[in-house]
Amino acid sequence: MVLLVAIAADAAVKKKRFDIGAVGDSVTTSVEAPADVSMEKPAETPSKAPAVSESSRSFLSIISSAQKTLREKMTAAITAMKNGEWGAIWKFLLICLVYGMLHALGPGHGKSIVVGYFIARHGRWRQGVALGAGITVVHTLSAVVLLFVLYAIFKATVFPAFETGRMGVEKASYALVMLTGILLIVIAARDFWKQRNSAGNGEASEALPPVARWREIIGVAAITGIVPCPAVALIVLFCLLNSMVALALLGAGVICVGMTITNVAFGIMAIALRKGIDVGSKHSRFAAKIYTAATFAGGLLIFVSGLLLFGNLFAGQV
């Protein structure tokens, strides 16, 4: 229950966004003088996002501050490598790894989806790893591919174009996330009525928990991860503007590994929680009802996560 509350609070926090105008200005400057570019995120414009608790705000402030420090260090390391100090690459890669792990702790990286799915479904450990890694890999690749394509076309105005395209993808992705939650809720309702009808007819059957299927995992990873990661894009763009294509790809890969570690950890925790539910209720006469309730709870968590992210997407535009 503690894990569920933490994830729900995480999903309720406003999703961080870039200010298109400010980023566009900084990218234009970067083209003229790449060595002097900073990867600082511009200040966010006020929005009508839901209020968050002091503890959540404090946690996110710590994460945000740490990421800002790491971005400054990455800027320095990239500049050093551009000046021929390639020994700084190890420092750069370590920073990218830690940055990815911290960045994934913020809202909008699929943690609540992973937890919701494995509460709704009895999964294996390798499936938890696969879903956490799958979401992160798609999340990273979508940013890299989109950014490379836009950079080749738009050059100086690449980031405003990237942000516009990303927001369009987000709308579809979060709508599909909500649909996934609704489908799980419908499945739970169907199971409930089946149990009720069986009991009314005097039938008895062994209750079995719903099992995670690989095709579902692939679908959830694709739907959730298709949203391009702006943090990866920002770092990749900085490397591109400094004519360091290989470093851009390497940095994105290491950040992906860092985010994967965080997402996989949440997946494993969710699987452990679900296994505990299954073991504890296995010999209970209420086992079927408990399994149905878990499926309903997981579907509801996924739906609410998608709804909050979808709502916050438009809150930043009001």
Of 200 and 175, the structure prediction assigns the larger pLDDT to 175
Q: How confident is residue 11, by pLDDT bands cut at 50, 70 and 90?
A: very low
Which one has a higher pLDDT value, 253 or 148?
253
Handedness of CA 134, 229, 302, 266 (dihedral sign): positive
Strand partners, 211: 122
Q: Is residue 272 part of a domain?
A: yes
pLDDT tens for residues 261-271?
999 999 899 89
Residue 58 lies in a domain: no
Query: Which pTM value belongs to this model?
Result: 0.71
Amino acid (one-letter) located at 272: A
| Lowest-pLDDT choice from 110-114, 158-162, 175-179, 302-306 | 158-162
Structurally, the chain folds into a number of domains equal to 1
* Inter-residue contact 109 to 139 (CB < 8 Å): yes
Q: What is the pLDDT of residue 39?
A: 57
- Taking alpha carbons only, the member of 310, 318, 314, 216 closest to residue 11 is 310
Would residue 269 count as lying in a domain? yes
pLDDT tens, residue by residue, 60-69: 788 888 888 9
Q: What is the pLDDT of residues 73-102, one digit of tens each?
A: 998 999 899 888 888 999 999 999 999 999
Cα-based angle 51, 52, 53 (whole degrees, multiple of 5): 130
Q: Which residues pair with 5 in a beta bridge?
A: none
pLDDT at 255: 93
Residue bearing the bigger pLDDT, 8 or 163: 163
The answer to whether residues 228 and 143 touch, using CB atoms and an 8 Å cutoff, is yes
| 186 compared with 201, residue with greater pLDDT | 186
Residue 134 in domain: yes
- DSSP secondary structure letters along 57-98: HHHHHHHHHHHHHHHHHHHHHHHHHHTT-GGGHHHHHHHHHH
Residue of 241, 231, 229 lying closest to 37 (CA atoms): 241
Percentage above 90 pLDDT, the chain: 18
Return the number of other C-beta atoms located less than 10 Å from residue 127's C-beta: 21
- Residue 187's domain spans which residues? 111-315
- State how far the Cα of 300 lies from the Cα of 191, in Å rounded to an integer: 15
Residues 203-252: tens digit of each pLDDT? 545 556 778 889 889 988 988 888 888 888 888 888 888 888 899 999 99
Question: Within a domain: residue 4?
Answer: no
Does 55 or 95 have the greater pLDDT score? 95
> Which pLDDT value is given to residue 199?
56
In a domain, 2, yes or no: no
| Amino acid in position 26 | S
| 75 found inside a domain | no
Cα–Cα distance, 175 to 223 (Å, whole number): 9
Task: Tell me phi and psi for residue 37, to 5 degrees.
Answer: -70, 145
At 30 the pLDDT is 38
On the 0-12 / 13-18 / 19+ scale of CB atoms within 10 A, 114 is buried
Q: Are 306 and 181 in contact (CB under 8 A)?
A: yes
Between 304 and 7, the more confident residue is 304
What is the predicted pLDDT for the residue at 177?
85
Residue 225 lies in a domain: yes
Residue 155: pLDDT band (50, 70, 90) is low
CA 19, CA 10: separation in Å to the nearest integer?
22
